């Protein structure tokens, strides 16, 4: 089965992870721009980060046979630093039009502050201008209210709901998202949020329409194999293969294809692995063949 993990922060992960993901059937991924743990103090840090999502990380994924796409945006947490946020928002238009950018994101609410809302609104408007879908993060605290506010904001701005992916859903928020025209992402985490069995139960209850599953693996406790592990549990629960394939491939592919940046016909073919290739002067190899510092 072909697998698409549409939310995984590979910058924080190792080459072992890439190898394991490819072996488990993951062919395509989306890496959303997000918070790095350590707060950034300068817009220039965002420039380097966005460039690395578009350049080095995409190259690194290709060296393991995985297609890498990204979303670019100012995350809600760092939206709470107004001076920096404004500088980053001004940078976005030049990055959003680059190859491989499949949405504006992750954007949305974290503490549900006024500053976050202002940045959320500006980035929805930007998405409309550059004709990209949006990837919306929902908060850990007061998730239900954050989900409702996100949908209401999208509606009040007249942004097309079929171009909105609301992420990190649970049992409480999924029906709210499905009632709208938005798509519903689910993050399968080792200890918190959704797990494999709860996800399978949601699929048994709601089916596959507009339902998406991801690992959101990053620098915290998380697991980049959570999508394949969820497939195994869905199979145990008797969910048909076609339903599973819709959730772990067709849905994310069709959602992000709205960007015009995904070639649906070629998406399922892995990039040819050629480790003689370099990105600028670096390769993933060691020693004479590569010049990776270590
Ligand atoms: Zn994320």
CA 53 to ligand 1 center in whole angstroms: 13
Q: What's the 33 CA to ligand 1 centre distance in angstroms?
A: 7
For residue 290, the CA-to-ligand 1 centroid distance in Å is 31
| Gap from CA of 169 to ligand 1 centroid (Å) | 13
Which parts of the chain have pLDDT scores under 70? 287-294
pLDDT of residue 286: 77
Q: Residue 288 C-alpha to ligand 1 middle, in angstroms? A: 36
How many Å lie between the centroid of ligand 1 and the Cα of residue 291? 30
* Distance in Å, CA 52 to ligand 1 centroid: 16
Q: pLDDT (tens digit, 9 = 90+) per residue, 113-137?
A: 999 999 999 999 999 999 999 999 9
Distance 260 CA to ligand 1 centre (A): 22
Considering only CA atoms, which of 192, 193, 197, 173 is closest in space to residue 183? 173
Q: What's the 37 CA to ligand 1 centre distance in angstroms?
A: 12
For 104-135, letters b (16+ CB in 10 Å) and e give: bbbbbbbebeeebbebbebbbebbbeeebbbb
Residues 6+ positions from 285 with CB-CB distance below 8 Å: 275, 292
Quote the ligand 1 centre to 31 CA distance (angstroms): 8
Ligand 1 centroid to residue 28 C-alpha, Å: 16
pLDDT at 289: 55
Distance 133 CA to ligand 1 centre (A): 16
The whole-angstrom separation of Cα 254 and Cα 50 is: 24
* 168 Cα to the center of ligand 1, angstroms: 9
Compute, in angstroms, the gap from residue 26 CA to the centroid of ligand 1.
18
- 143 CB neighbour count, 10 Å cutoff: 17
Ligand 1 centroid – CA 187 distance (Å): 9
Q: What is the dihedral of CA 240, 241, 245, 251, to 10 degrees?
A: -10
Whether cis (ω within 30° of 0) applies to the bond prior to 7 is no
φ/ψ (deg, to 5) at 164: -120, 125
Predicted local distance difference test score (pLDDT) of residue 281 = 86
CA 183 to centroid of ligand 1, rounded, Å: 16
Runs of H (alpha helix) within the chain: 15-23, 43-54, 56-62, 82-96, 114-130, 143-156, 174-179, 196-206, 226-236, 241-245, 251-257
Quote the ligand 1 centre to 34 CA distance (angstroms).
6
Q: Cα(157) to centroid of ligand 1, in Å? A: 24
């Amino acid at each position: 089965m072909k697998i698409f993990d549409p939310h995984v922060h590979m910058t924080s992960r190792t080459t072992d992870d890439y190898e394991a993901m490819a072996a488990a059937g993951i062919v395509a991924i989306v890496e959303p721009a997000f918070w790095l743990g350590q707060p950034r103090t300068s817009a220039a840090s965002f420039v380097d980060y966005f460039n690395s999502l578009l350049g080095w990380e995409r190259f690194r994924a290709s060296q393991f046979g995985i297609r890498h796409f990204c979303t670019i945006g100012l995350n809600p947490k760092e939206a709470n630093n107004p001076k920096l946020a404004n500088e980053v928002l001004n940078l976005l238009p030049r990055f959003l039009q680059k190859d491989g950018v499949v949405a504006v994101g992750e954007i949305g609410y974290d503490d549900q502050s006024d500053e976050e809302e202002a940045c959320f609104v500006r980035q929805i408007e930007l998405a409309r201008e550059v004709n990209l879908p949006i990837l919306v993060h929902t908060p850990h605290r007061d998730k239900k209210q954050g989900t409702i506010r996100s949908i209401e904001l999208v509606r009040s701005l007249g942004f097309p709901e079929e171009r909105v992916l609301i992420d990190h859903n649970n049992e409480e928020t999924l029906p709210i998202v499905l009632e709208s025209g938005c798509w519903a992402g689910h993050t399968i985490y080792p200890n918190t949020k959704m797990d494999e069995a709860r996800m399978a139960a949601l699929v048994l209850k709601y089916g596959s329409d507009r339902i998406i599953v991801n690992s959101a693996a990053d620098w915290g406790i998380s697991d980049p194999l959570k999508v394949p592990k969820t497939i195994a549990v869905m199979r145990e629960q008797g969910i048909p293969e076609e339903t599973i394939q819709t959730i772990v491939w067709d849905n994310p592919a069709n959602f992000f294809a709205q960007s015009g940046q995904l070639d649906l016909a070629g998406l399922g073919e892995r990039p040819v692995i050629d480790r003689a290739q370099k990105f600028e002067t670096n390769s993933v190899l060691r020693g004479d063949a590569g010049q990776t510092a270590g």
